[in-house]
Amino acid sequence: MQTSTLLVKKVGPVSWLTLNRPDALNALTDELVGALEQQMQAANQDPEVRVVVLQGAGGHFCSGLDLKVALPSTLGESEAAATIGRFQALIRAIVQAQKPYVACVRGAAVGFGADLALACDFRVLGGSAFIQEKFVDIGLMPDGGGTFWLPRLVGLGRALELLMLARRIDAERALALGLATQVTDDADVERSSQELADELCGKAPLALAAIKAAVRQAIERGLSEALAEEQAGQTRLLSSHDFREGVRAWSERRTPKFTGQ
Residues of 75-95 as b/e, b for ≥16 C-beta within 10 angstroms?
eeeeebeebbeebbbbbbbbb
Q: Encode pLDDT of 166-176 as tens digits.
A: 999 999 999 99
Residue ranges per structural domain of the chain: 1-186+203-261
What is the topology classification, in CATH, of domain 1-186+203-261? 2-enoyl-CoA Hydratase; Chain A, domain 1 (3.90.226)
The dihedral built from the CA positions of residue 234, 236, 238 and 241, taken in this order, carries a sign that is negative
Q: In the 8-state DSSP scheme, what is residue 186?
A: G
- Residue 257 has what pLDDT? 85
How far apart CA 242 and CA 232 sit, in angstroms, is 17
User: Chain centroid to CA 188: how far?
Assistant: 21
- Residue 251 has what pLDDT? 78
In contact, 89 and 53? CB cutoff 8 Å? no
Positions in the chain short of pLDDT 50: 1
- Residue 146 forms beta bridges with which residues? none
Q: Encode pLDDT of 66-99 as tens digits.
A: 877 655 555 667 777 888 889 899 999 999 999 9
- Residue 221 has what pLDDT? 65
In contact, 84 and 234? CB cutoff 8 Å? yes
